[in-house]
Chain A
C-alpha cells in the first residue's frame, strides 16, 4: 500500500476512496500504467530514490527498478529529447519537469520536434510521450517558478494540453494521457497536490482527453476555469449561491483537445460567461475561448464575456503581491456580479 495514503488521511482507513490526495492519485496512475504496460517508464530530476519534489513518483523505484524510474542530470532539453527518441522507438515515456517554467529550456524539443515529427514524416511514426510538470502561484516561489504557461503549448498544433483540477481527474487523465499516441503536456498545480477528493478504485478508471466536466450545475452564469481556478471558483460559487446567483462551473480539463460542445451547451443555457484563468491576461487561452464562444453562440449571449485573468506581470515573491496578481475568490464573485449587471 502507498504510505502516502496514511499520511494524507491522518490515520483514516486506507480504503477511504473519498479522501485521496491529488498527488496520491497521480502516483496511482503512474504505478497502474507501469504495471499494465512494460513500455511505460518515468524519468526526471530526483524522481527515483527521492520520489520527486511533490512525492508523485514515491515508491515507484522500489516496485519497478532503476531501468524504469530514471534520475536524470539537470539537462531538461536533452532528457526530454531522449524521451521523444524513446517514444519514437517503441516506449511510452513519462518525463517529469520540476516546474513548467523549466519547459522554456525544452521548447525546441517540444515545439519543433515532439509536436511535428508525426506530421513531418507523413505519419510514419508516433510520439506517445507525456511531459508531466506543474505550474502556478501560491508558495512565494517568485517569477521563475510560479508561471501558468499553458497558452504556449495550447498554441502549438500537435501537442495536447491537460490540466486536472481534482484528484479523480488527475488520475483518470494521466492514465489516458499515457495511453495516448500524441505528445501530452500534463500540467499539475503546486497548490493542488495536497487537496483531497474521491477517486474510483478501479484500474480501468480513465477519463478520455477532450471530455470536459461540469463541476457545479447552475442556471445563471457559465464560469469556465481549469486547474487551481476550479476550487477557487467553486468557493466563489457557493458564496454567490447565498445571494441567489447559481453559477455553473465548467472545467474543460483538457485544453487540447477542447470539449467545445460542453462549453457551448452551458453558455446557451445561462447566456452569461465568465472565464477565469490564473495565467496572465495577454494572449491567454481565455481569450481564445471567448473568441470561440462569441463566434458560435453570439445570439445566446446577454452580456459581453468577462475574462478574469492574471495581471500582465512577472509574479512577485512577496505573498501579498503574489495574490494580487492572480484571481482570488472575491475577484471571481465580483466578476460574476459584473457580468450579470450587464443585463
Chain B
C-alpha cells in the first residue's frame, strides 16, 4: 500500500539530507585548509539512515552515536553553529571544544554522544532504554552502530540484554561494508548481519540504507512497536561511504564499479527526487531550500571563526575536579 507523504514532510527530510551533505563537504574543505584538526570521519553517502531514523523519533527519545556521528547529530536537530564550533575546537561548541568530532553530543536533544570506540556506546544505549523503562517514560533509544560495531562482543551482549529485558531499543547497523578498509566478507562467514539478531530472539530487517523513505518507514514501525513494549529490534541499513574511512584515507581499496553503483543511488539526490516527484516541489522550491542550508552553513563557519580563543585558565580550574 503506497504511503502518502506531504510536501512539507518530504521537504523536511530533504533539508536534513542536504544539510548533512553540505556540512560534511564544507568541513572537509575546512579540514584541508587546516581549520579543523584531529580525526574527521565524514557521513557522506550515509545521510539517509540518520535522517530516516531520526524523523521517526519524538523529543523524549534517545540516541547513541558512533565515531561517524555528525549526521546523527544534525538529524536530531543540532545547531550547525555550535556543531561547527565544536569540530573546530571552540569554547562555543557543544562540548566546549573538549570533545571534537569524535565525541560530539547534544544531550538536551537526547543525543548521548558520538563515540571514539567502535562498540563503546552500544550498551550505553541499552542503559538509556532501561532507564526510560524504570522511570515509566515513553522513550525509545536508537543505538547507531555499524558493520564494524557488530563484530565487537558488546553487540551480542547488548542485544541479549535488551531482548531479555524487553527494552525499547532499535539497533541501527549502518553497514557501509567497510571496517576502515576490511570488508564484511573478509571477516564474517555470514555477511547478512541482521541475521545475527534471530539468535537472540530479536526481529530484524535488512533495508536499503540509501533510501530515506524506506529507512523512515522501517524505523517508524519499529519505534511504534517499541512503544508498545515489543522491542528491541535490529535494522541493518545497507549503504556505502563516498570516500575513505576518514578525510585522510583516499579509500583506494574501494572498487570503482561499487563506488559508481552507490553514486547512482546517492541518498541525497534520491531525497530530492522524492520531494519533487512525490511532493510536487518545483525546481525553485528545491533551490530555495538548498540556498537556505548553504547560507546557514556559511553562518556557522563565520560563527566558529569569530568565536574567541580557548581559555586555558578555565580548563585548568576544571581539571581540579579530576585531581
Contact = CB atoms under 8 A, between A and B. Distances in A.
B272 to A, nearest CB: 34
Contact of B134 (A67, A75, A117, A121): A67
Nearest to A115: B322
A80 to B, nearest CB: 7
Contacts of B106: 124
B99 A81 contact: no
Contacts of A87: 127
B124 interface: yes
B58 interface: no
Given A73-B160, A75-B160, A121 B99 contact: yes
Interface residues of A, number: 37
A121 B107 contact: yes
Contact of A109 (B98, B103, B123, B323): B123
Interface stretch (B88-96, B182-190, B282-290, B296-304): B88-96
A68 to B, nearest CB: 8
A78 interface: yes
A84 B124 contact: yes
Interface in A122-140: 122-125
Interface in A89-125: 89-91, 93, 108-109, 112-113, 117, 119-125
A121 B69 CA distance: 14
A80 B141 CA distance: 17
A72 B161 contact: yes
A185 to B, nearest CB: 15
A93 B126 CA distance: 14
B127 A82 contact: yes
Interface in B118-155: 120-132, 134-135, 141, 153-154
Contacts of B97: 122
A85 B164 contact: no
Contacts of A123: 96
B105 to A, nearest CB: 4
A120 B134 contact: no
23 contacts: A72-B161, A77-B123, A78-B123, A78-B154, A78-B158, A83-B127, A85-B123, A86-B130, A88-B131, A89-B112, A89-B127, A91-B135, A108-B117, A108-B120, A112-B116, A113-B117, A113-B121, A113-B124, A122-B93, A122-B95, A122-B97, A124-B108, A157-B319
**3 A-B pairs with least C-beta separation:** A85-B127, A81-B123, A122-B96
Given A85-B123, A85-B126, 6 more contacts: A86-B134, A121-B95, A121-B113, A122-B99, A124-B94, A157-B319
